[in-house]
Structures are given as structure tokens and as C-alpha cells.
RNA sequence: GGGCGCGUAGCUCAGCGGGAGAGCACCUCGUUGACAUCGAGGGGGUCACAGGUUCGAUCCCUGUCGCGCCCA
């Protein structure tokens, strides 16, 4: 017996266990061995993560696709797993050490620290996986992977080594985005430009051959800068070659204030005559643009900061080279001062000596680390890079050719934009948690890259023995004993960017490179579902790696969904405190309601502003369905084994079959087109506004009535349509649908593995043609016959009859409400001048119409009685003789309004039809439609005028 | 500065070259045989603005205004 109230929490845990025990989500189930695979890789959440709205949306959409295709018979592999999230995880564990007042990472040492991270991962790393399960994600959990698994690590090493061998990975000394808090390089993508209110300092740089006089502009050049503290590292002043103010100075030198270094004035396009003074100081070691200018002019690069962003001047040979006596004093004074404190000190000192001309307020973009939040320092270091430009080419071509398509398509533009301007990808990180770079160095700094230490060491020792750096005996000894080679051969300390391993996810999770069986079956995957915020971070890189190593795209379709924002449209973030926790919504309304909400709001190309009220509404929808099933159960509705919905004879039953077919087609086609909101709207409308509001109501008299063929058929049909609903709803609301599936009948299997309803109305013509051309009896059956074979519920006659009932009841209800007739008052109904068809319908639906419209009896007459309210239902008059009950003048007003409307319609249509150009240019069916509209409006008008006449007579 | 997107009912949003829609909110009525987490009925929009294309524009194009995001 179905309880009166639906309790999601209880159902959800039970259904999850049921699926788990049945192995329902497992790929490669024996009975599907020959089925077409359907493969999706999950965007691996950070192992430190906990479920947020973005995950909830992302995984709901993937789950809808997976459950849908599973029901359509595909062998579904939804590959789950988590990402080791280098920086984030390392930070979490370091914080934990601090909280517990344990020794820090550096005191602990690398090996011990990593042990702690793994320990942390074992204890707390699985949180998000359980949260995904609560959401109902039907991943094959038995195949869960982690980016630092042995297998995936082997894939990383292999990829690194091969790309290095091909010259696509290389080491280079250039400016990187340096995070002075986390003490690591980060990639361009991990840098966020934040608008900051700062200043523009105008500094006077004295000309070499003049005596500096702050009051005489001829003795100096003014440069404008946002970063005065880096002036210590200046190696030139640049002016635009076309800037006439400075033409004479090009080639001259200035003397760097405070420092005394002589630096040239160079001509470079980079200097913008419109900005500041038109002259700009060049600090190649601390600014990306200046770095390029420096390269063009062969300028020295003088780094004046250390890793932590403090001035490093003492013993800084680059800085001290060629400086006059006394310069070291300044170096000592400023050494070790933090960059922001240094800024103040240096500005003050410049001012003291008259080098500061003025300060302007200036709002500009300043790079910040997305993890640490501190200002990023361009810093000159050795790092590993991927030649992204080269690797991007096949990845660009794949999208150009359509081998991979973005949905919605406009994201392709974003993809191209970035890929075509891609910069070298800095992949080394000065962290401990991650894939340590498989590179070893000899005593002379020569690098040996190999997948394993044995191989690298072997190569290295061979190399040095051959060059007689060591003897063969020493080599053998070092090969045998790692302790012996310590200090001779050392491994690169750095680890790889987390996204390096994520880029391999679509094939590394399938067993590459160790076992390619699953790669053969599941690569390329079918679709990638992700948010636009990681198109660059992840999608683009998977494309590059996939094209390079698999020689094929990782997925033919990339569905890009929106961002979930708060009610006001702001991005949810912890720091803003506007985060809605999906788990709370699940607690309050159930996972099904949350999933349905997200699906219903996932319109393409628009962000989701989530209000919990919506979730409540869809919880109510679940309750509605629950009660409909309860009603069916109370009436003993059941589906006989041999029941064929297409063979139903009762008009009402044929009608619900027709409507079910329509809903099936709508839902199926919408999911196929990734139009999740349309799919959700269709099933919602069908369940509530068709099945509950009309079908069940219209069926009640039959169900409560006498036994007989009609009742037998209806009992079956209520159950049949309910089952179809449960199937259609399952991808969206898996828990309640599975529960009701189990409760409403003795079933052969779980709903999750039940066959999806076939599209009524036949296949689309494309499908029919495809089937006709690919089926074995090619040419024997015309496509039309194949289409009929799929079962067509389309029934216009049933639609017309039930439509009439619906319209009649609605019209009567409306007028009763307007006339303030209490439900207790039963009014008679007179059908005036009814056709044979209408008479038949009225007789067949007598009970229902009387009950639903609160009528007394229904009779027929040639003309409506005097003083009756007259309604137009599908072109005929239905009269409610309410003389004495109704207000005649109110009724006249009502009819006048309707008359005006009919006349307006006629006028509008006439305007169109009277327009020769319209008739000449508009498609025939549109013109035809307009003509029909006119006829209908004219008929309506006639009836209303008649009604008004009769009203007058009554008065 | 470049790119993308958005301004439709009080709110949140669908839609889209041929008669303006949903959910919520609101108002009226309702304990009729599943459901008050419900039922019935109703009010409410010059589809941001201005041009253009078209027989016809909320929809396509251009511009303006307002808002958001991404990149430099």
C-alpha cells in the first residue's frame, strides 16, 4: 500500500542500495556485451571538494543522458573518479598540520609529507563521491579512478617522455607567473586579473650628459610606472619611435635614480605615446611586456626580488654589476624588504631627491593567484613548458571540421579564440603533491627524461661512463645502490600541473597505456558535459592530448552548460557567502526535486539563477505523481501481461495513448538535442496537466462503475500510462520513479534497466530512412511500413472527442466562476442544435461532464432556452438555463466582450487577406490557416449575435 | 580595447518570422470518491528603445541605453 505522503530521504537510501546490489550501473553487463557502448567521463571533482551547485547541475545532466541511453539499451559506461588537485590538496593538508600543531611540510620532509597526504586522501578524500551518489549519479563506481593512481601515473609519465622526445615538452628560462605565497609557478589560466585602485608614479630619470635639475625638464626624462619598486631592475627606457618629443633622445642614456646604473633610451612600438608621459621604464625581469622589449633590444634582465617577493640586492651580481661606489649601501638598506614596503621606501627616497614628479590615481588590472589570492609576480625562472601552439593545431582542426562540436555552438568561437592565441603552457609546479616530473639531472645539469628511474639512471650512467666522468665500476655501483648515486644524479623536484593529468582523463581512465581493450571499445567517448569555465583548463587540453596520443578526438560532442548563480545572479562563492548547498536542498526536498529543478532550468546559453522555491515546486510535482500512483493502486489498476495499448478501443484510452505518444516523442527528442529544460517541461505537463488533471478525472466514472470490458481496459490503461510516465521520468527523477515502479506492480526487473518507451508517431523520417537503408532486408520494406511497425498511437478522432469534453467542461467552469454560481448549485445543460457527433459525445460523456462541470441533467434542443447563458464550444452552442440566477446585464457585458474579440479577429485576418502581397508571398499553408481562422471567427460572431438577440428577448 | 551573452507578466525564466507562454507570487471560490505539497476560476506584458529588411518582426539586421561574463 502506498502511503499518503512521499518521503524522499527514505526512498533515496533504499533505491541507491537496490541499484548498487543489482550492479545496475556497471558497464559491460553480460546481456549488453553486444550493445553499442555509450561512454561519458565525469569531469573529475577535486578530491578536496564537496558537492556544490555546479557539480549538482553537471552531474544531473550527465546522469540524465546516461540513464536515458541505458534505458535505450546502450552499454553505458559513466566513468567516475577524482582529481588530485595539487595545490588545493597540499594546502588542505598543510592547514591540517598547522591546526594540529604538528611540524610543517618542510620540517617533515617530502616523503613523510606525501605519506600524510595519502593518509588524508584515504580518510577524507571520498566525501564528494558519496555526495554524488546521493544525487543519484549512475556512474560505474566499481571503476572509480584517481589521477594519482598507478595506472594514471604511468600514463602521465609516458606522455611526458614522448612529448619531450618529440620536442613538444621543453625546459626554458622565461618569465612565469610566480605565486610568492605558495612559492610556485602557475599557468596563465590560474591567474586572475583584478581591478585595483592604485597610482601612476611619474619619475624623473636624469639624462646622462646633463646636470640633473628637477626644475629643468631638459635634464631628465619622465617615465610613468605603476610599480616604482621594480625600478631597481630597470635596464632601459623605451619611447615610441614615432613620438617626436623623444626622437632626439633615442640612443642616449639616462642614469637610474638612486642606483646610478646607466641605461639606454630605446625606441620601441610598445611604448604608447598616449599613456603617461609616453616614456616607459623597462624592467625585463619583472614584467611580461618589458621582457619582450628586452629581448628585442638585447637588454640585460635584472631580477631584484626573491621567491617571496622581497628585495634581494645583497650578493645580487646582476644587480650590482657596473654600479658606482656606494651603491651597495642602498642594497643593504633595502635588502629583504617586502615588495609593498619597498614601494613606499623607494617612492619616499625618490621624492627626497627630486626624482618624483607627481602621483596620479590609477585604476588598473593586477594579476592575482586564483588559489592564494596574492599579487602574482612575473619572475624569471627555469620551468617546463608544453609547446601548446603546435599541439593546438590538430585540436583546432578537429573542431573546424566538425569532428568535435560544441553545444551550444557559440562556444566554438571562444575555443578558437583561445587556441589560436595560445601561449606555451607552463606545466611545472614547485609543489610536492602531484606527479613528480620524470627528469633526472647529472652533475653537469644534463637532463635525462625517462618513464622510470631505472631507465633514466641507466641512461645517465652510461652517458657519464662513456665520457669518462665516472668509471664503469662506479657506474655499476651507482646503478645498484641509490644511496651511492645521491648527489650525482638527482631527480627534478617539481611536479606537474594538475591539469596535465586531467588532460589524459578520457583515455588514461580506460586503462591506457597498459591495456587498450577498453580504449578500443569506449574511445572516443560519446559526449563531454562540462561548464564553460573549464573550456581552456580542461576541454582544450583533452583535445590536444587526445588528438596527439589517440589520433582521434576524445568526444564528438561537448555540451557546455551554464553556471549556477544565486537568486540575484551573482556567482556563488565561499568568500561571498552566497552559496546554496545542494545537500541542504536534497535534505529539504529530495534529490529528485533538485535534479528536476536543475534540468528544468538548464536552458542552453543562459545561466541558472537558482531560487529554492523552484525546488519546492518540483517536490510538489513528485508528490502529485506519488498520489496519482496511489490512486491507481486504490482502484486496482494493473497491467495484464498481454496488454497492447495500441489495441485499446475506448476513446478515452486511445486518447491517453495518443498523448503518451506525444509526450514520449517530445521528451526523447529534447534529450537527444540536449534540450533538458524542454524535456523536463514536457514530462511535467504530461504528468500533471494531462494524466492527472484529465485522464484520471475522466476515467473515474468508468473505474467506479460497473464491471465490463470498458472498465477492464481502463484499469489496464491507467497502469500502462503510469508505467510509461515512470519510464519517461526516470532519467530526471530516478529515486521516486524506481520506488513507484517497485510498489505498483510485480516487476521482472528494475526500472533503471527497463526499456525506454518507443517514440509513438513512428520514427522521424530520417530514422525511418536510415533504418530502411541499413536494415538487412534492405529494399524489401518501404520506410513507411517500418515506421508503422514501431507502434503509432496517433489518433486524431480520440483527440477531437476528448478535446470537446475538455473544452466543454472548461467553458462551463469558467462561466460558473464568473457568474459566482456556488459549486453546490447543479445547473442543467442544454446543447442547442447539436450535431449527431455532439449528441453521441454528450451521451457517452454524460456522467463525467455532469460531475466535472457540476451539472444537473444534459438535454438537447433546437435552440437555446430564453435567458440562458450561451457558450460556444467547438462551434456549437452549449446553454446553461440560468434565468433568475444570472444577472442579465452582466451576461450581456460578457457577450459584448466576446463579440468585440471576434470582430477584432476578423478585422485582423481581413487586413492580412486583403493584402495582395501577403496572399502572393506567404506560404500557402499560412494563407490557408488565416482563411480558416476567419471562417471560425465569423461563425463565432454569428452565434454571439444570436445569443445577444435571445438575451434581449428574455429581458 | 576585443569577444560572448542578456534585457518578455510582480519574481524566476521558456519561446520565436505568421493569433504573447510556464512556474511561483497575487485575487476569488472550494473538505465532490489519489493529492490542501491539492482542485476550479481569474487579473496581469506598447516582448528595453530607435531605425532597417519583410506581405508580416517579440523573433532577423543595424544603432542606442542598461546589465552580466570572458580575454587583453
Which whole-number Å values give the CA distances from A785 to A662, A668, A788, A793, A821, in the listed order? 20, 22, 5, 15, 54
Q: Is the CB of A912 under 7 A from strand B?
A: yes
Q: pLDDT tens, A514-562?
A: 888 999 999 999 999 998 888 888 999 999 999 999 999 999 999 988 8
Q: Which of these ranges, A363-367, A522-526, A625-629, A691-695, has the smallest mean pLDDT?
A: A363-367
A window 510-539: Cβ near strand B (< 7 A) = 533
Strand B contact with A358 (CB < 7 A): no
Q: What's the pLDDT at A541?
A: 93
- A916 strand B contact, CB < 7 Å: no
- Residue A770 approaches strand B within 7 Å at CB: no
For residue A763, pLDDT beyond 50: no
Distance between CA atoms of A540 and A543, rounded to whole angstroms?
Answer: 5
CA–CA separation, A12 and A735 (whole Å): 6
Q: Is the Cβ–Cβ distance between A396 and A419 less than 8 Å?
A: yes
Q: Does the ipTM surpass 0.85? A: yes
A841 touches strand B (CB under 7 A): no
Contacts of A662 (CB under 8 A, 6+ apart): A686, A760, A761
On average, the pLDDT of chain A sits at 86
A564 CA to B48 C1' in angstroms comes to 25
Q: For residue A765, what are the CA distances in angstroms to A46, A670, A776, A788?
A: 45, 17, 18, 12
Q: Is A775 near strand B, with its CB below 7 A from some atom of it?
A: no
How many Å does it take to go from CA A418 to C1' B71? 8
CA/C1' separation A800–B44 (Å)? 32
Q: How many Cα atoms occupy the beta-carbon half-sphere of A205 within 13 Å?
A: 33
Which stretch of DSSP H or E encloses residue A263?
strand A262-267
Q: According to the model, what pLDDT value does residue A278 have?
A: 81
Other C-beta atoms lying within 10 Å of the C-beta of residue A912: 16
Question: Strand A428-429 and strand A495-496: pairing?
Answer: antiparallel
Determine whether the distance from the CB of A208 to the nearest atom of strand B is below 7 Å. Answer: no
Closest nucleotide to A535 by C1' from CA:
B70
pLDDT score, position A441: 92
**Closest residue to B18 measured CA to C1′:** A926
For residue range A876-900, list pLDDT tens digits in order. Answer: 889 988 776 677 777 888 888 888 8
A624 touches strand B (CB under 7 A): yes
Q: What positions of strand B are covered by protein, i.e. any atom < 7 Å from a CB?
A: 3-6, 11-15, 18-19, 22-24, 28-30, 32-42, 54-56, 67-72
Residues 363-422 of A with CB under 7 A from strand B: 365, 410, 413-414, 417-418
Cβ of A5 near strand B (under 7 Å)? The reply is yes
What's the 3-state SS for A322-384? CCCCCHHHHHHHHCCCEHHHHHHHHHHHHHHCCCEEEEEEEEEEEEEECCCCCECEEEEEEEE
- Cα A311 to Cα A704: distance, rounded to the nearest angstrom: 90
Rounded distance between C-alpha atoms, residue A33 and residue A77, angstroms: 12
Taking the C1' atom of B32, which residue's CA lies nearest? A851
Verify if strand B has an atom below 7 Å from the CB of A915: yes
Cβ A911 to strand B below 7 Å? no
Q: Assess whether A823 (CB) lies less than 7 A from strand B.
A: yes
Q: How far apart are CA A519 and CA A666, in angstroms?
A: 34
| Residue A58 cell numbers, joined | 553537471
Protein-to-nucleotide distance from the CA of A573 to the C1' of B67, whole angstroms: 20
Check the CA dihedral A31-A33-A37-A38 and report its sign: positive
Spacing of A526 CA from B1 C1' in Å: 39
All residues at 6 or more sequence positions from A38 whose CB lies less than 8 Å from its CB, including other chains: A66, A69, A70, A74, A75, A76, A77, A526
Chain A residues 698-727, Cβ below 7 A from strand B? 700-701, 704
Q: What is the Cα–Cα distance from A440 to A307, expressed in whole angstroms?
A: 23
A598-612, A703-717, A819-833: range with lowest mean pLDDT: A598-612
- Nucleotide with minimal C1' distance from the CA of A904 is B19
CA distance A776 to A780: 9
pLDDT at A574: 65
Q: What is the pTM of this model?
A: 0.88
Instruction: State, as a whole number of angstroms, the distance between the CA of A806 and the C1' of B58.
Output: 31
Q: Is the CB of A846 under 7 A from strand B?
A: no
The pLDDT of residue A569 is 63
From A85-99, A741-755, A874-888, the region with the lowest mean pLDDT: A874-888
pLDDT band at A759 (very low <50, low <70, confident <90, very high): low
- Distance in angstroms (rounded) separating the CA atoms of residues A97 and A48: 16
A854 touches strand B (CB under 7 A): yes
Kindly tell me if the per-residue pLDDT of A584 is higher than 70: yes
More confident residue, A318 or A791: A318
Average pLDDT over residues A121-149: 91
Q: Measured from the CB, is A611 under 7 Å from any atom of strand B? A: yes
Strand A145-146, strand A81-82: pairing? parallel
Question: pLDDT-based confidence at A566, cuts 50/70/90?
Answer: low
Q: A318: closest CA among A361, A281, A284, A359? A: A284
pLDDT band at A252 (very low <50, low <70, confident <90, very high): confident
pLDDT, residue A567, reads: 61
Q: Which nucleotide is nearest to A926 (CA to C1')?
A: B18
CB A617 within 7 Å, strand B: yes
Q: How many CB atoms lie within 10 A of CB A212?
A: 17
At residue A912, the pLDDT reads 83
Contact A346, A230 (CB under 8 A): no
Give the percent of chain A with pLDDT over 70: 94
Distance of C1' in B68 from CA in A501, Å: 33
Question: Could you report the per-residue pLDDT of A471-501, keeping only the tens digit for each?
Answer: 888 888 888 888 888 888 889 999 999 999 9
A612-616, A693-697, A782-786, A834-838: which range is least confident on average? Answer: A782-786
- CA atoms of A835 and A842, how far apart (whole Å): 10
Amino acid at each position: 500500500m502506498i502511503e499518503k505522503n512521499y518521503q524522499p530521504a527514505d526512498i533515496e537510501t533504499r533505491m541507491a542500495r537496490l541499484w548498487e546490489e543489482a550492479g545496475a550501473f556497471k558497464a559491460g553487463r553480460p546481456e549488453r556485451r553486444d550493445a553499442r557502448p555509450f561512454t561519458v567521463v565525469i569531469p573529475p571533482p577535486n578530491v578536496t571538494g564537496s558537492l556544490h551547485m555546479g557539480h549538482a547541475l553537471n552531474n544531473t545532466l550527465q546522469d540524465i543522458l546516461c540513464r536515458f541511453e541505458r534505458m535505450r539499451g546502450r552499454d553505458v559506461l559513466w566513468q567516475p573518479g577524482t582529481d588530485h588537485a595539487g595545490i588545493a590538496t597540499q594546502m588542505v593538508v598543510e592547514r591540517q598540520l598547522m591546526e594540529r600543531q604538528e611540524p610543517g611540510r618542510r620540517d617533515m620532509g617530502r616523503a613523510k609529507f606525501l605519506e600524510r597526504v595519502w593518509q588524508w586522501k584515504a580518510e577524507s578524500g571520498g566525501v564528494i563521491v558519496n555526495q554524488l551518489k546521493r544525487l543519484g549519479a549512475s556512474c560505474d563506481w566499481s571503476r572509480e579512478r584517481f589521477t594519482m593512481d598507478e595506472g594514471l601515473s604511468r600514463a602521465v609519465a609516458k606522455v611526458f617522455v614522448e612529448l619531450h622526445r618529440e620536442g613538444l615538452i621543453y625546459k626554458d628560462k622565461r618569465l612565469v607567473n610566480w605565486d610568492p605565497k605558495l612559492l610556485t609557478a602557475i599557468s596563465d589560466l590560474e591567474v586572475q586579473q583584478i581591478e585595483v585602485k592604485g597610482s601612476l608614479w611619474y619619475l624623473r630619470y636624469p639624462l646622462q650628459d646633463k646636470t640633473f635639475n628637477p626644475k629643468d625638464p631638459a635634464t631628465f626624462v619622465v617615465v610613468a610606472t605603476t610599480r616604482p619598486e621594480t625600478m631597481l631592475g630597470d635596464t632601459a627606457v623605451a619611447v615610441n619611435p614615432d613620438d617626436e618629443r623623444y626622437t632626439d633622445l633615442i640612443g642616449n642614456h639616462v642614469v637610474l635614480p638612486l642606483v646610478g646604473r646607466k641605461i639606454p633610451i630605446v625606441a620601441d612600438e610598445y611604448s604608447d605615446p598616449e599613456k603617461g608621459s609616453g616614456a616607459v621604464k623597462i624592467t625585463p625581469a619583472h614584467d611580461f611586456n618589458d621582457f619582450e622589449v628586452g629581448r628585442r633590444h638585447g637588454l640585460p634582465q635584472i631580477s631584484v626580488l626573491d621567491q617571496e617577493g622581497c628585495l634581494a640586492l645583497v650578493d645580487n651580481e646582476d644587480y650590482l654589476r657596473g654600479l658606482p661606489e656606494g651603491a651597495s649601501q642602498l642594497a643593504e638598506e633595502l635588502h629583504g624588504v617586502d615588495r609593498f614596503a619597498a614601494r613606499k621606501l623607494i617612492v619616499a627616497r625618490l621624492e627626497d631627491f627630486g626624482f618624483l614628479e607627481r602621483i596620479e590615481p590609477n585604476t588598473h588590472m593586477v594579476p592575482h593567484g586564483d588559489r592564494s589570492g596574492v599579487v602574482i609576480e612575473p619572475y624569471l625562472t627555469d620551468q617546463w613548458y608544453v609547446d601548446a601552439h603546435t599541439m593546438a593545431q590538430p585540436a583546432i582542426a578537429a573542431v573546424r571540421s566538425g569532428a568535435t562540436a560544441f553545444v551550444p555552438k557559440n562556444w566554438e568561437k571562444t575555443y578558437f579564440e583561445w587556441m589560436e592565441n595560445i601561449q606555451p603552457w607552463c606545466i611545472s609546479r614547485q609543489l610536492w603533491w602531484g606527479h613528480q616530473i620524470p627528469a633526472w639531472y647529472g652533475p653537469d645539469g644534463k637532463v635525462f627524461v625517462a618513464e622510470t628511474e631505472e631507465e633514466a639512471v641507466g641512461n645517465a650512467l652510461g652517458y657519464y661512463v662513456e665520457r669518462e666522468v665516472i668509471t664503469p665500476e662506479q657506474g655499476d655501483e651507482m646503478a645498484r645502490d641509490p644511496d651511492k648515486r645521491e648527489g650525482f644524479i638527482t631527480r627534478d623536484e617539481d611536479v606537474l600541473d594538475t591539469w596535465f593529468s586531467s588532460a589524459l582523463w578520457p583515455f588514461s581512465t580506460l586503462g591506457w597505456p597498459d591495456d587498450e581493450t577498453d580504449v578500443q571499445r569506449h574511445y572516443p567517448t560519446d559526449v563531454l558535459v562540462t561548464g564553460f569555465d573549464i573550456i581552456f583548463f580542461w576541454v582544450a587540453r583533452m583535445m590536444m592530448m587526445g588528438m596527439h596520443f589517440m589520433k582521434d578526438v576524445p568526444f564528438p560532442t561537448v555540451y557546455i552548460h551554464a553556471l549556477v548563480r544565486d537568486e540575484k545572479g551573482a556567482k556563488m562563492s565561499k568568500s561571498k557567502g552566497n552559496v546554496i548547498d545542494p545537500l541542504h536542498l536534497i535534505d529539504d526536498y529530495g534529490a529528485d526535486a533538485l535534479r528536476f529543478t536543475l534540468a528544468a532550468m538548464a536552458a542552453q546559453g543562459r545561466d541558472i539563477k537558482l531560487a529554492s522555491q523552484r525546488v519546492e515546486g518540483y517536490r510538489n510535482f513528485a508528490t502529485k505523481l506519488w498520489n496519482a500512483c496511489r490512486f491507481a493502486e486504490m482502484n486496482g489498476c494493473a497491467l495484464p501481461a498481454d496488454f497492447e495499448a495500441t489495441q485499446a478501443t475506448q476513446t478515452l484510452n486511445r486518447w491517453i495513448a495518443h498523448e503518451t505518444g506525444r509526450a514520449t516523442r517530445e521528451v526523447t527528442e529534447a534529450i537527444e538535442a540536449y534540450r533538458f529544460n524542454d524535456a523536463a517541461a514536457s514530462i511535467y505537463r504530461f504528468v500533471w496537466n494531462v494524466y492527472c488533471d484529465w485522464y484520471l478525472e475522466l476515467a473515474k466514472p468508468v473505474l467506479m462503475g460497473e464491471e465490463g470490458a470498458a472498465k477492464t481496459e481502463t484499469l489496464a490503461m491507467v497502469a500502462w500510462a503510469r508505467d510509461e510516465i515512470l519510464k519517461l521520468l526516470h532519467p530526471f527523477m530516478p529515486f521516486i520513479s524506481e520506488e513507484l515502479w517497485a510498489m505498483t506492480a510485480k516487476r521482472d526487473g528494475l526500472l533503471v534497466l527497463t526499456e525506454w518507451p518507443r517514440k509513438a508517431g513512428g520514427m522521424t523520417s530520417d530514422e525511418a530512412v536510415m533504418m530502411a537503408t541499413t536494415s538487412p532486408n534492405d529494399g524489401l520494406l518501404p520506410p513507411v511500413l517500418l515506421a508503422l511497425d514501431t507502434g503509432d498511437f496517433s489518433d486524431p478522432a480520440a483527440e477531437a472527442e476528448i478535446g470537446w469534453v475538455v473544452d466543454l467542461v472548461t467553458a462551463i467552469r469558467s462561466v460558473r466562476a464568473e457568474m459566482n454560481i456556488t459549486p453546490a448549485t447543479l445547473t442543467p445543460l442544454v446543447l442547442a442544435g447539436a450535431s449527431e457527433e455532439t449528441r453521441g459525445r454528450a451521451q457517452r460523456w454524460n456522467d463525467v461532464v455532469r460531475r466535472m462541470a457540476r451539472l444537473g441533467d444534459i438535454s438537447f434542443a433546437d435552440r437555446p432556452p430564453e435567458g440562458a447563458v450561451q457558450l460556444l464550444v467547438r462551434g456549437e452552442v452549449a446553454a446553461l438555463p440560468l434565468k433568475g440566477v444570472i444577472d442579465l446585464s452582466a451576461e450581456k457585458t460578457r457577450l459584448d466582450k466576446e463579440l468585440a474579440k471576434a470582430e477584432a479577429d476578423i478585422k485582423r485576418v481581413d487586413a492580412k487577406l486583403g493584402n495582395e502581397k501577403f496572399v502572393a508571398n506567404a506560404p500557402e499553408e499560412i494563407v490557408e490557416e488565416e482563411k480558416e481562422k476567419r471562417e471560425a471567427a465569423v461563425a463565432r460572431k454569428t452565434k454571439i449575435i444570436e445569443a445577444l438577440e435571445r438575451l434581449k428577448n428574455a429581458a
